Amino acid sequence: MANVAVIGAQWGDEGKGKVVDWLASRADVVVRFQGGHNAGHTLVVGNQTYKLSLLPSGVVRGKLGVIGNGVVLDPEHLLLEIAKLKEQGLSVTPENLRIAENVPLILPLHPALDKAREAARGANKIGTTGRGIGPAYEDKVARRAIRLSDLAEPEVLSRKLDELLLHHNTLLKGLGAPTFEKQALLDRLLELAPKLLPFAEAVWERLDAAHHEGKRVLFEGAQAVMLDVDHGTYPYVTSSNTVAGNAAAGAGIGPNRIGYVLGIAKAYTTRVGSGPFPTELHDETGRLLGERGREFGTVTGRPRRCGWFDAAMVRQAVKVGGVDGLVLTKLDVLDGLETLKLCTGYRIGSEVVKRLPASIAQQEAAEPVYEEMAGWKESTKGARSYAELPAEAVKYIRRIEELVEAPVVLLSTSPERDDTIVLRDPFAG
């Protein structure tokens, strides 16, 4: 049975939530494998809107949700999100959510360090979500993270907290930020332990069993390829690998079980936070895209920067992300624009290149090379077949396919789950 991995092909906020929700209805298990509550997925189901940051979207559809070891988990936030869903009539219990016992935890000192460091960076700030994601991943690779399973062993926890605080309080003091006291942290973690431990297990074993039972697994990526810590616009990136390959390490499965990789891209480009953005528009068109697309961050509420579709960048994301097929979202936001522009490469000094170089200075200097296309007057909102699309819209999509070297297999034409044009079933492999 084919599995599917969904990843963002730009800088995040491509509308993964809706696509994952659509696919989740056809999957048995939905797995988060990286990131944390820096992600924001909005799911519109009938007249209910669910905002998820940490929970796998499948829980809204009655599917088993799994949080893999590649995630960084803020226990307080998890319980808050579960409580909010309960108010909306959805129950999240160990029956429908399992969490990797080896997942590293985000503690209050992580957002404190995240924010103190951003403040110290001043104008050079990364524009993080301030949720402690970077510091939590740093602790994981530095081998001092508190993991979920540690909550069952108070003595180990106490010892590990000493090491963690030695590191963090030194840094926080140096940055002039308040430090943390061990006993309060320990007491709170031990208080949380009975609420969290019932969710903990070796999820790799469950996923292995799911495979042998022929179940369909959906790997739900967060952020996007251009925010990948290796392949993105470093250092203006998140602190995890967002490419599909990380679904294997981040969930505890073999790479051959990831299945079909679906990349999600908006029909234009947006970005939140700082960093290079060659096709960014500072004019009326940019403002219009932001307004029509309701481009405000789900997590932080920050307005998103908007620009033309960058086909050179998405091509790069397709290659490094292992994307088999693309989903194009928010095409309707372009309705009525007379001319559209597609970025096919970048002029850097006297050279024209087809990819973003690793050098941040060169990324910032990159001038987009555009190709112009005629827009369309008709509305594409809610279209459910190619036949309902204006000829110019179809041409725009076809040109994107050529430039990014991947087929568009799904089109999302409104926030409603059923307003989707399916050209190929990703679960068919």
Give min distance, CB of 229 to ligand IMP, in A: 9
Give min distance, CB of 350 to ligand IMP, in A: 31
Give min distance, CB of 14 to ligand IMP, in A: 9
Give min distance, CB of 372 to ligand IMP, in A: 28
Chain contacts with ligand IMP (rule: CB under 6 A): 12-13, 38-40, 126-129, 131, 133-134, 222-223, 227, 236, 238-239, 272-273
Residues 37, 41, 77, 231: which is the catalytic one? 41
Q: Which residue is nearest to ligand IMP (CB)?
A: 273
Residues 13, 21, 74, 228: which is the catalytic one? 13
The residue among 7 and 403 lying less far from ligand IMP, judged by its C-beta, is 7
Going by DSSP bridges, is the β-strand pair 408-412/420-422 parallel, antiparallel, or unpaired? Answer: antiparallel
Give min distance, CB of 133 to ligand IMP, in A: 4
Give min distance, CB of 129 to ligand IMP, in A: 3
The per-residue b/e assignment along 340-375, b for 16 or more CB within 10 angstroms, e otherwise, is: bbbbbbbebeeeeeeebeeeeebbeebebbbeebeb
The residue among 133 and 265 lying less far from ligand IMP, judged by its C-beta, is 133
Q: What is the 3-state secondary structure (H, E, C) of the chain?
A: CCCEEEEECCCCCCCHHHHHHHHHCCCCEEEECCECCCCCEEEEECCEEEEECCCCHHHHHCCEEEECCCECECHHHHHHHHHHHHHCCCCCCCCCEEEECCCEECCCHHHHHHHHHHHHHHHHCCCCCCCCHHHHHHHHHCCCCCEHHHHHCHHHHHHHHHHHHHHHHHHHHHCCCCCCCHHHHHHHHHHHHHHHHHHEECHHHHHHHHHHCCCCEEEECCCCHHHCCCCCCCCCCCCCCCCCCHHHHCCCCCHHHCCEEEEEEECCEEECCCCCCCCECCCHHHHHHHHHCCCECCCCCCECEEECEEHHHHHHHHHHHCCCEEEEECHHHHCCCCEEEEEEEEEECCEEECCCCCCHHHHHHCEEEEEEEECCCCCCCCCCCHHHCCHHHHHHHHHHHHHHCCCEEEEECCCCCCCEEECCCHHHC
Give min distance, CB of 309 to ligand IMP, in A: 17
Catalytic-residue membership of 41: yes
CA quadruple 50, 15, 263, 360: dihedral, nearest 10: -120
The residue among 239 and 380 lying less far from ligand IMP, judged by its C-beta, is 239
Q: Left if phi > 0, otherwise alpha if psi is -120 to 50, otherwise beta: which for 105?
A: beta
Residue 353 dihedral angles phi and psi, to the nearest 5°: -120, 160
Do residues 259 and 284 touch, judged by C-beta distance below 8 A?
no
The residue among 253 and 267 lying less far from ligand IMP, judged by its C-beta, is 267
Give min distance, CB of 202 to ligand IMP, in A: 27
The residue among 71 and 151 lying less far from ligand IMP, judged by its C-beta, is 71
Give min distance, CB of 22 to ligand IMP, in A: 19
The residue among 229 and 389 lying less far from ligand IMP, judged by its C-beta, is 229
Which tokens sit at 389? 């699309």
Catalytic-residue membership of 282: no
The residue among 19 and 222 lying less far from ligand IMP, judged by its C-beta, is 222
The residue among 57 and 380 lying less far from ligand IMP, judged by its C-beta, is 57
The residue among 245 and 276 lying less far from ligand IMP, judged by its C-beta, is 276
Catalytic (active-site) positions: 13, 41
